[in-house]
Structure 1
Amino acid sequence: MTSKQGVIRRALDGLYQVSGALAALCLVAILVLIVVQMVARWVGDVFPGAPQYAGYMMAAASFLAFASALNGGAHIRVSILLNSVPDRVKWLLEIWCFGIATAVIAYFVYYAYWFVYWSWKFNEVSQAQDASALWIPQSVMVTGGGVLLIAFADNLISVLRKGTHRMGSSIVDQSFGE
């Protein structure tokens, strides 16, 4: 591996880790929102918009965690089929799967971007108590989708160049002796 490839590899792995860490912080933010809402109720006050903010954080946590989960082997895969075919067929199935996944997430990110753009352009706000600008939580969806697109493309390129993906084995795969 050349030094340029090593720099790119470290940058991509760092991107996936940062995305996963941000997802974890979103989960912590959900906990904090719930505790603050409970305290507000105990003292007889109201925290308007807390459920909406928790919902935004849940969506953000999901989308930001996708790439980290993919590379950690936590996404559902049909390993039984992949393990039962010869290596040559397995390689073609891996290419097909990562190719389709990359195309689908690229389609999603493209249209999600325009969804966010029009929300920003028309100044759409939540109809709930929080009245937040919707482009802000929607932007996190596009960001997480973009990182997942990079992760799928990274794995597709790895399969094409080296014959194997970069995903770790999941707990389920390890329990079946893979």
Structure 2
Amino acid sequence: MFQSINNNLNKLYKFSGYLAAFFLILVAVFILIGISSRIFGFYIRGLAEYSGYCMAAASFYALAFTFVEGGHIRITLFLEKASSSYKRFLEIWCLIVATIFSGYLSFYLWKMLLISYDFQERSEGADEILIWIPQTSVAIGSLILFIAVLHKFILTILNKND
């Protein structure tokens, strides 16, 4: 059962990476459409805002995938110098701190999303989109990051690191 959960979580992180790539492609498409529209003399409302929303979505969806793949800045140079028992203690301590902070971030991004939804807050840009719509991807991405950090913490505690 534990292996099944582990495999499904790894699939979630990979899917999150694919979503990040998709949103990066959307950023490029919106920018190219914006450039083309200026060349051909017409204006499409909100393209700059939409590319910004997609960039935020790409960033947050990429966080978990990058964390699992070891792409974030880590303290490995410091940990390499420590003895094995002290290294394990430091790694667990760092994962506890990361779990707390990523949980805190996720909690408040979800809270912000719910407040924006309750008040039906709109963006200040030309598109006046309901702001909870782009905030949803940011909140989901932060939740996936929290799950990834917690997952790594549990694997480290159980000595089941890959």
TM-score (norm 2): 0.97
Indicate which of 38, 55, 60 corresponds to 2:57: 60
Q: Is contact 1:60-1:137 (8 Å) kept? A: yes
Indicate which of 140, 146, 150 corresponds to 2:147: 150
Q: Is contact 1:101-1:152 (8 Å) kept? A: yes
Partner of 1:17 in structure 2? Answer: 14
Indicate which of 58, 61, 69 corresponds to 1:72: 69
CA gap of 1:89–1:163, structure 2 versus 1, over 3 A, is farther
Instruction: Give CA deviations for 1:112-151 in whole Å, capped at 9, x if unaligned.
Output: 1111101010010001101011001111111000000010
CA distance in 2, matches of 1:136, 1:158: 34
Partner of 1:43 in structure 2? Answer: 40
CA distance in 2, matches of 1:47, 1:93: 52
CA gap of 1:161–1:154, structure 2 versus 1, over 3 A, is same
CA distance in 1, matches of 2:54, 2:160: 37
How many residue pairs match? The answer is: 162
- Read off the aligned partner of 1:33 and give its amino acid letter: F
Identity level (%): 34
- Read off the aligned partner of 1:68 and give its amino acid letter: F
Q: Is contact 1:125-1:133 (8 Å) kept? A: yes
Partner of 1:87 in structure 2? Answer: 84
Shift of the alpha carbon at 1:6? 2.2
Indicate which of 87, 94, 98 corresponds to 1:97: 94
Gaps of 5+ in 1: 167-178
CA distance in 2, matches of 1:34, 1:80: 39
Partner of 2:23 in structure 1? Answer: 26
Shift of the alpha carbon at 1:163? 6.3
Taking the TM superposition and a 5 Å limit, the aligned residue runs for 1:137-176 are 137-162=134-159, 164=161, 166=162
Q: Secondary structure at the match of 2:44?
A: coil
CA distance in 2, matches of 1:83, 1:6: 29
Following TM superposition, the consecutive aligned residue runs of length 4 or more in structure 1 with deviations greater than 6 angstroms are none
Partner of 2:126 in structure 1? Answer: 129
Q: Secondary structure at the match of 2:28?
A: helix
CA distance in 2, matches of 1:103, 1:124: 29
Q: Secondary structure at the match of 2:32?
A: helix
CA distance in 2, matches of 1:78, 1:157: 19
